[in-house]
Amino acid sequence: MAIRILVTDGMDAAAVETLRNDGYEIVEKFYEPAELGAALRDFDCVIIRSATKIKEAQIDEAKGSRLKLIIRAGVGVDNIAVKYAEANGIAVKNTPNSSSNAVAELAIAHLFSCARYISLAGHTMREHLWEKKAYSKGFELEGKTMGVIGYGRIGRLVGKKAQALGMNVLSVVHRNKPEGVECETMHFVTMDELLANSDVVCLCAPSGEKPIIDAEAIAKMKDGVVIINVSRGSNVDEAALLDALNSGKVKAAGLDVWLSEKEPNWALAEHPAVSCTPHVGAGTKEAQKKIGKELISVVKGFFE
C-alpha cells in the first residue's frame, strides 16, 4: 500500500513531483479545523505550513488511525500540539534549515524600510504626492546597535547581516551559548542590558507563555527605538506597541507576524510608522525549493 501524504497549505511543485515519482500518493487539499481531524485518519503523513492548526481536537479524531507523522514545512511548530501528538504515537518533524535566510533577509528589509520610510514614501508617491521633505529625515544603520532576541538559526543570520552593515549586535543567552560568534561587534548580555542599549530590537525567538515585548519591556528601551518582529505575533503585545508608536517612544516597527492572521491588528498595519507584510518570511522561491528538498528528506528518512 502506498504511503498517503496530505499537503494542506501548498508545497513546492518539484518536491511533490519527486515524491509521486518515488511512489508516494500526494493529496493537496485544505481542510477547515472541524473537518481536518477525521480527514487525517486516511493519511500516513500530513505536511502543513502556518495556516493549518493541528491541536488536541484534531489529534483526538486522528489518533489510532494510519496517521504516523506530522511535518511542519517551516521552523516553528506552535501550530501543532506537539507533546500531545507524540503521546498518542504521532511523530512531529519540521524543516528548520531551509527558510532561515529568507526570514533573516526580510527582517533586514523591514529595518531598511523603517529607517528610510520606504513603505510610507512609496505609498504616498502612488497617490501622486511628492513628500521629499517629510521623508528626508531617516537614519543610517551603520554604527547603530541591534538587539536580537533569539540567537538561533534565524537570529544568527540576522546578526551576521547586521554586522555586515556596520551595526553592533547584542543578544541574550537562555540555554546553550553559541560558540565562536562573540567578537568586537557581537556580545551576549542580559535582557535588561539589551533593551536599554539597542537602537533596534529584532525578535527571532519562539513563542512563549506571554509576550516578550510588552509595556514593561518597551519602557526599558531607548526613546525612538525600532522594533522588528519576524518570529511569532504572540511575542509582542500589540496594544502596548501601538500605544508606544503613538507616543513616539517607539519610532517605527517592522512586522511580518501578527497575533491573529484571520483578523490582523489593522490599527497597527495602518499606522504610518509601521512597515508590514502578511507573514511572508519564508516566501521566496529559493526558500520554498529548499523546504521542498528538506521535506523529501524528512519523509524518506521516516518511512524508508
Active-site annotation, residues: 232, 261, 279
Pairing of strands 4-7, 25-28: parallel
| Contacts with 302 (C-beta within 8 Å, 6 or more apart), sequence order | 45, 68, 69, 91, 93
Instruction: DSSP letter for 235, please.
Output: G
Let me know the angle formed at the C-alpha of 172 by 167 and 178, rounded to the nearest 5 degrees.
85
Whether residue 257 contacts residue 206, with contact meaning beta carbons closer than 8 Å, is answered with no
How far is 253 from 53, CA to CA, in rounded Å?
27
C-alpha cell of 266? 489593522
CA 26 to chain centre: 27
Torsion of Cα atoms, 78 then 83 then 87 then 90, to 10°? 30
CA distance 196 to 225: 10
Among candidates 104, 134, 108, which has minimal Cα distance to 272?
134
